[in-house]
Amino acid sequence: MANLKKLYDAVLNGDAKTAVAVTQEAIAEKLDPAVLISDTMIPAMAEVGRLYECEEYFVPELLLAARAMKGSLTLLRPLLAASGTKPTGKVVIGTVKGDLHDIGKNLVASMLEGGGFEVTDLGADVSPDKFVSSVRELKPDLLCLSALLTVTAPSMRTTIEALKQAGLRESVKVMVGGAPVTPEFAREIGADGYSENASQAVVTARQFCHPDKAA
Amino acid sequence: MANVSAVNTSRQRVLESLHHRQPDRVPIDFGGSATTGIHVSCVAKLRDHFGLVKHPVKVIEPFQMLGEVEDDLKLALGVDVTPVLGPRTMFGFANENWKPWSLNGLEVLVPGNFNVTVAENGDTLIYPEGDLTALPSGRMPKGFHFFDAIIRQNHFDPDHLDSSDNLQEFELLSQADLDDIAAKARAAGTGEYATFASFGGTALGDIALVPAISLKDPRGIRDVAEWYVSTRSRRNYIHQVFSRQVEIAIENLQRIYQRIGNSIDVLFLCGTDFGTQTSSFCSVPTFRELWLPYYKQMCDWIHSHTSWKVFKHSCGSSERFYESFIEAGIDIVNPVQCSATGMDPEYLKSKYGERLVFWGGGVDTQQVLPFGTPQEVREQVLRRCRVFSPGGGFVFNTIHNIQAGTPVENIVAMVDALRSFSA
Ligand code: B12
């Protein structure tokens, strides 16, 4: 029988090969993918986030864990879709215009995925127009904006304004973060939420997504 | 001020401070290196402000688009340091054969091999060694002020990695390169300014350099995330890269030293950032295993053969590494990002003031310098000087380069505050 403790540990230790192998076993044994995600993957990534917050894990460890998790999720996702299971919520994320810093944004994206969200990553240097068109097309529950340069952070405000003008502001929650972003700045520009780090981002994101969508 | 040493030149002023003795006034660097510079647009504005000869400013560092701080501007700003740059820029071409170029409407001068094209979306693309037939290695988003690296990660087999791939950009300097360095060191080393050398080749895994934007066909691990991951999951590989890189670097330093001796005062060793805003990129034990021995090897060679002081840049919350930096033989830390967690100026000065020189920390560039009022800038500059300057061990610089868009009034307020502090 598939050893789920082994899967949990594989994610925690960033061992993608083992994570994929155990997931394949689990699939062959017809374990419910939704349960696998909610009972094994999400708790493993939550533990990764905890270790990151208390500085036992750093950027490399978190990236490795995220890869192991993705290896497994890639196998599980088609099954979820087939069974009609909904993700915790739908997220679009990107680093704002003029900013190339994407390490933090990537960690947030991975942790959200690990938290059961369906994440579309638009990359770095994303214009307000691109954010707006993606919101229109993908209809996410949550739009996440990252900025590391104080000189590009104002683009978050511009993006929120652009959403308003497109009549889409009410359709999506906006969460912001990155080194220079503070809760005050987030409020001032009219964002709905802010988090200081990647694992808190998951907690905040959950609060935004409708309970009926919770996995 | 007690025990102020007699100082006749800018160079002596800097040297006093580097030896932890109180100079006559706070020594100042703007434009000495790729992390203590001024964006070319701000250099142009400053030249206008001070009524200096009007001419297009040279972009001496084309990646971040840093402008040359010429002697007339040095005088206006009170600068005590002059750069000695390596043979080639980050894009692999030399700073020569200057030609005009328009940066969002500002006429500047760029090297002859600064060859660019404009992409469909309006972004400016730049090419390694200026070779337009190669794939571009840098991209300036439309309307922005500096380049970003274009990641060119070729397929690699993780089970058969060859460390020579990640050593592609580290080579023994040619005779022509040594001649170039010797000429530059001679020109800068008149004794007037402290000389700040950036020869390259000594940075260990600087994430700005990993993509190797100077190379036409980078091999090995060139993607940012892949590199970070490798520092955990492929540690042997990274050890192999660093240990060979350091052998080459020391051989180059030896050959450079034979040519220029002690005509340079400070060596820019490495720009790898270990800090983030609130934490770090790795643990202290990881640093001690993976970086410290190699830094120490280079510093040991430098200190046992030369009088050069060793400069280490590391942004963000880096204090936790300072004890290890000292153990490695690093003399100078930069940019001293006081706005990051655990980087309180008073604490840093009291704990490390006698063992590290703070080259930076002068004013916050996240909020105060770009967005504060001139009064706020002035107050912070005076406060930082009061904390960092006693007993020497301080060279004033903003925290990292002065960014495009920084109001010239704020830069001038900073310079005025420095002047009044030292009066
Ligand atoms: C690594 C780094 C780089 C790398 C970037 C590589 C990459 N692909 O991302 C390189 C070397 C290329 C680089 C370049 C530059 N950099 Co830089 N860089 C940094 C550094 C050292 C760390 C940033 C980082 O990756 N941290 C690690 C991650 C994990 O942390 P994080 O990004 O903060 O993200 C966490 C949280 O903030 C949060 N979060 C992040 N995004 C989001 C989004 C949401 C929605 C939420 C909820 C949460 C959230 O969760 C994350 C995980 O916990 C910072 C120093 C600092 N104090 O932060 C400077 C820093 C950001 N850089 C700076 C500068 C100036 C530059 C340059 C402009 C240099 C120059 N040209 O002069 C260039 C510009 C490049 C560009 N076009 O953007 C300055 C910015 C100053 C300012 N005015 O704002 C800083 C602060 C350094 C300094 N001392 O001044 N940089």
Tell me the sheet residues that pair with B38.
B402
Averaged pLDDT, B204-212: 98
Ligand 1: which residues within 6 Å by Cβ?
A 59, 99-105, 107-108, 144-146, 148-151, 175-180, 195, 197-198, 201; B 64, 146, 148, 207-208, 224, 273, 276-277, 315-316, 335, 337, 340, 365-366, 399-401, 403
Counted domains in chain B:
1
Distances (CA, A) of A208 to A96, A104, A145: 21, 21, 15
Indicate if the pLDDT at residue B5 is higher than 70: no
CA of B188 to the centre of ligand 1 (A): 33
Looking at residue B83, its amino acid is: P
pLDDT score recorded for residue B187: 96
B19: which DSSP letter? T
Residue B117 lies in a domain: no
Does an H or E element contain A28, and which? Answer: helix A16-28
Closest CA to A161 of A137, A127, A193, A195: A127
Triad B25, B30, B34: Cα angle to 5°? 140
| Interface check A51 vs B, CB under 8 A | no
**Domain membership flag for residue B37:** yes
pLDDT of B4 reads 61
Report the pLDDT averaged over residues B53-64: 97
- Domain of B218 in residue numbering reads as 10-97+157-422
Q: Which of B231, B267, B230 is nearest to B250 (CA)?
A: B267
Q: pTM score > 0.90 for this model?
A: yes
In B214-265 the beta strands, taken as DSSP E runs, fall at none
Higher pLDDT, B3 or B398: B398
- Which tens digit of pLDDT belongs to each residue from B365-390? 999 999 999 999 999 999 999 999 99
* Contact between A160 and A169 (Cβ < 8 Å): yes
Confidence of residue B416 (pLDDT cuts 50, 70, 90): very high
pLDDT at residue A210 in the model: 58
In a domain, B368, yes or no: yes
Q: Is residue B330 part of a domain?
A: yes
CATH number (domain holding residue B361): 3.20.20.210
**Structural domain includes residue B114:** no
Rg (CA), chain A: 17
Sheet (strand B309-313) strand order = B81-85, B194-198, B266-270, B309-313, B332-334, B357-359, B394-395
d(CA A134, CA A143): 10
Distance B316 CA to ligand 1 centre (A): 9
pLDDT at position B2 is: 47
> B302-351: per-residue pLDDT in tens?
999 999 999 999 999 999 999 999 999 999 999 999 999 999 999 999 99
Segments of chain A with pLDDT less than 70? 210-215
The whole-number average pLDDT for the span B236-245 is 98
Which residues from A are below 8 Å from B366, CB to CB? 150, 179-180
What secondary structure does DSSP assign to B304-354, as a single string? Answer: HH--PEEEEE--SS-GGGHHHHHHHT--EEE---TTSTT--HHHHHHHHTT
For residue range B122-137, list pLDDT tens digits in order. Answer: 999 999 999 999 999 9
Burial letters for A181-190: b for 16+ Cβ neighbours within 10 Å, e otherwise? beeebbeebe
Instruction: Give the distance (Å) from ligand 1 centre to CA of residue B343.
Output: 17
A97 interaction partners in chain B (CB closer than 8 Å) = 141
Average confidence (pLDDT) over B147-164: 94
Is B122 part of a structural domain of the chain? no
Q: B384 with B422: CB under 8 angstroms? A: no
For chain B, give the mean pLDDT.
Answer: 96
Question: How many Å lie between the alpha carbon of A4 and the closest alpha carbon of chain B?
Answer: 23
In the numeric block, the tokens 């046992």 are attached to B304
With a cut of 60, say whether residue B167 has pLDDT above it: yes
pLDDT at A213 (0 to 100): 43
Tally of CB atoms within 10 A around B71:
11
* A60 to B231: CB separation less than 8 angstroms, yes or no: yes
DSSP helix/strand/coil, A116: coil
CB distance from A17 to chain B under 8 Å? no
What SS3 class is residue B29? coil
User: Which atom of ligand 1 lies nearest, measured to the CA of B144?
Assistant: 77
Contact B90, B213 (CB under 8 A): yes
Banded pLDDT at B1 (limits 50, 70, 90): very low
**Nearest alpha-carbon partner for A64 in B288, B225, B222:** B225
With respect to residue B118, please indicate whether it lies within any of the assigned structural domains.
no
Per-residue model confidence (pLDDT) at position A151 = 87
DSSP B148: E
In terms of phi and psi (left: phi > 0; alpha: psi -120 to 50; beta: otherwise), the region of B174 is beta
In the predicted model, what is the mean pLDDT of residues B264-293? 98
Give the H or E element holding residue B149: strand B148-149
Ligand 1 atom having least distance to the Cα of A193: 47
The whole-number pLDDT of residue B378 equals 98
User: Is pLDDT above 60 for B284?
Assistant: yes
Q: Does A32 touch chain B (CB under 8 A)?
A: no
* Residue B3: band (very low, low, confident or very high) from pLDDT cuts 50, 70, 90: low
In this prediction, residue A81 carries a pLDDT of 82
Residue-wise DSSP of B206-228: -TTTTT-TT-SS--S--SHHHHH
Inter-chain contact B232–A60, Cβ cutoff 8 Å?
yes
Q: Walk me through the domains of chain A, giving residue ranges and CATH numbers.
A: 4-83 (1.10.1240.10), 90-213 (3.40.50.280)
Tokens of A200: 């808190």
Q: What is the pLDDT of residue B8?
A: 81
Compute φ and ψ for B309, nearest 5 degrees: -95, 145
- pLDDT over 60 at B261, yes or no: yes
Q: Is residue B146 part of a domain?
A: no
The answer to whether the beta carbons of residues B388 and B358 sit under 8 Å apart is yes
Q: What is the pLDDT of residue A82?
A: 85
